[in-house]
Amino acid sequence: MHIPKNYREEDHAKVVAFLKENGFPALVSYDGNGLTATHLPVEVIENPNGSLTILGHMSRANPQWKSFGEQEVLLIFQGPHTYISPRWYNHVNVPTWNYINVHVYGKIRMLAGEELKGLLGDLVGKHEVNTGYSLDGLPADFVEKEMRGVAGFALEVTRLDAASKLSQNRDDESYASIISHLEE
């Protein structure tokens, strides 16, 4: 991803928080014929050494998981984005777009057994807080059957590119005007 210097986000804590808040990226890989992508829920884990692991799963009916192998894959996390009108500046200019995006690269290791069950349990727990619904409350044979229908994975992050283009290159008056118009 091309990121002009003044839009590159280097703050690791901000990037990790963004990834965790926007946990439905597009996973892009090459299947031997072309690029393929799937949008899916993920869990972002910050390891004690500061590295990142991203856990996720997709339906085994989706053939994309068969292509992972040793190739590098790309996860595209997209945050808020919006059109910025040139009428909001205090000078003549052109329209633009503000956005926050992070591209994450790495290689995938497939998950099975207790690792996969742990991931699925964590995802259900995260989204079913205070509902009483959990994998532990379901019949074990049902959970095992459903687990056979998913391909779980762990992606060890090898590189990430974070862009935060939020009109930070504008003068104070134009910046305040942009904020005011967006709040309207």
Strands of the 26-30 sheet, one edge to the other: 35-39, 26-30, 72-84, 96-111, 150-165, 52-59, 42-46
Residue segments in the chain with a per-residue pLDDT below the cut of 70: none
Question: Model-level pTM greater than 0.85?
Answer: yes
Identify the pLDDT of residue 70. 87
Closest CA to 108 of 140, 71, 150: 71
Closest CA to 29 of 4, 58, 52: 58
The span from the CA of 129 to the CA of 151, in Å, is 24
The residue written with tokens 């892009």 in the block is: 28
Identify the pLDDT of residue 52. 97
H/E stretch holding 12: helix 12-21
Identify the pLDDT of residue 88. 94
For the four alpha carbons of 106, 112, 116 and 118, in that order, the dihedral sign comes to: negative
Identify the pLDDT of residue 171. 87
